[in-house]
Structure formats: C-alpha cells, structure tokens
A and B are shown apart, each in its own frame.
Chain A
Amino acid sequence: GAVVSQHPSRVICKSGTSVKIECRSLDFQATTMFWYRQFPKQSLMLMATSNEGSKATYEQGVEKDKFLINHASLTLSTLTVTSAHPEDSSFYICSAPKRLGFGGDEAFFGQGTRLTVV
C-alpha cells in the first residue's frame, strides 16, 4: 500500500524555539495533505489542510502564524511550530489522501511526531 513518512518521530525542544515536522508521500503524489493534533486518549483533530502551490487552509481556532505550513512539492508538506510553548506539546500526525479507482480516496497516515516542549 501507499506510504506516508513523517519525521521526526520524537522531538524535545526548549520553550521559545521552533520545530519543523516533515510529511512525505513516498510512492504517490499528494496535492493535498492534512495535519492533525491528538491529545492523550482523544481523537485526531484537524488543524489545517496543506495545498501544494497555494496557501494552507486552517481550521477555526488554529493560529496560522504559529503553525506554519508549507507544501512546496507534490510529495512534501512541512509543519513548523513557531515559538513553541509547553502547551504545544502534543502528538502531531499528517495524512495524505490517495485517489482510489471507484472515485473515493484512502487516507494514509504518517507515523506521528511526539513534540515535547520544556
């Protein structure tokens, strides 16, 4: 099946620094990628939709200046958490949809990134 690779899997950073998370579709092109945040024992919450060659679309309540998204190619999207604070500590997951033959799509998820801000 299709593979989406997310890097790094874990990162610890100091408060006030920025962290970049990469999401790559390894064997298919993804004009759209999705970024999610997941708190312990809760479901995935959509943060933003990353669109190749255009601006990302952010969900209500998500600060676009804090969570910078760049989708520079058909296989790579990056999420940068700027000026990170302890409350930004969370599990971040990306996904990329792959179109299927019947007209629907399948979402393939990255392995997730555990961000800890100290």
Chain B
Amino acid sequence: KNQVEQSPQSLIILEGKNCTLQCNYTVSPFSNLRWYKQDTGRGPVSLTIMTFSENTKSNGRYTATLDADTKQSSLHITASQLSDSASYICVVSRSDYKLSFGAGTTVTVRA
C-alpha cells in the first residue's frame, strides 16, 4: 500500500531555534519526493523536490534530505521565524504521476 507517514504530528519551537521533520514512505514505484508548506486556509506551496538520485536539497532556511534506500526524508528548518508557522506536508510522486500525501506536521513558532 502506498503510504506516507510524517512525524511528529505537531511541534512548538521558539523563534530562532532549529527543528527537523521526518517522513517515511512505502510508495512504489517512486518518482520524486516533495515537501510543501501550507499556511492555514491556503493551498500548499512547494519547498523542495528531490528525485531518487538526490540526497539533499536546500531552499533558503529549509533543507531536505532523502535516503531512497531506507525510504526516509527529513526537512530541517534553520533559525525559525514566526512566518514558518504552518503545516509541512511530505508528498511522494509515483512514476504514474499519482501523489501520496502525508498527514502533515504542524509547526508553531513562538516568540
């Protein structure tokens, strides 16, 4: 079964601190893995996209890693800001372009 599991479900961090979100998947056949940021009441916005041959990709203060062998990915947020408060969704794309969504991790950054 094509599944994407994210952890933790939610977390609270202080402004300026770092945090790491986890994503494990069993989706096959694998095409690429993306991380999206979704603000409340808005559509998801892409942060990173990685194919099986890429093991790290950065977008500003966001750094994603991928281990295609263990089928694990992480998203690291550095020096968090209040605007980072959002839901972060791990999405795995299959070779037939169908997407499998994780339930998301809700990040709350407090001053």
Contacts and interface: CB of A to CB of B under 8 A. Distances in A.
Interface residues of B, number: 22
A103 B76 CA distance: 27
Interface in B66-111: 89, 91, 93, 97, 99, 101-104, 106
Interface residues of A, number: 26
A107 B91 contact: yes
Interface in B33-54: 34, 36, 41-46, 49, 51
B104 A93 contact: no
B93 A110 contact: no
Contacts of A46: 99
B106 A6 contact: no
A106 B31 CA distance: 11
A42 B103 contact: yes
A71 to B, nearest CB: 16
A26 B23 CA distance: 31
B32 interface: yes
Contacts of A44: 44, 89, 101
Contacts of B44: 44, 93, 109
Contact of A106 (B41, B46, B101, B103): B46
Given A104-B32, A111-B42, A43 B97 contact: no
A107 B102 contact: no
B62 to A, nearest CB: 15
A93 B103 CA distance: 15
Given A43-B103, A44-B101, A105 B43 contact: no
Given A104-B31, A105-B97, A110 B103 contact: no
Contacts of B102: 43
A6 B104 CA distance: 22
A30 B92 CA distance: 20
B51 A104 contact: yes
A93 B104 CA distance: 16
Interface of B: 31-32, 34, 36, 41-46, 49, 51, 89, 91, 93, 97, 99, 101-104, 106
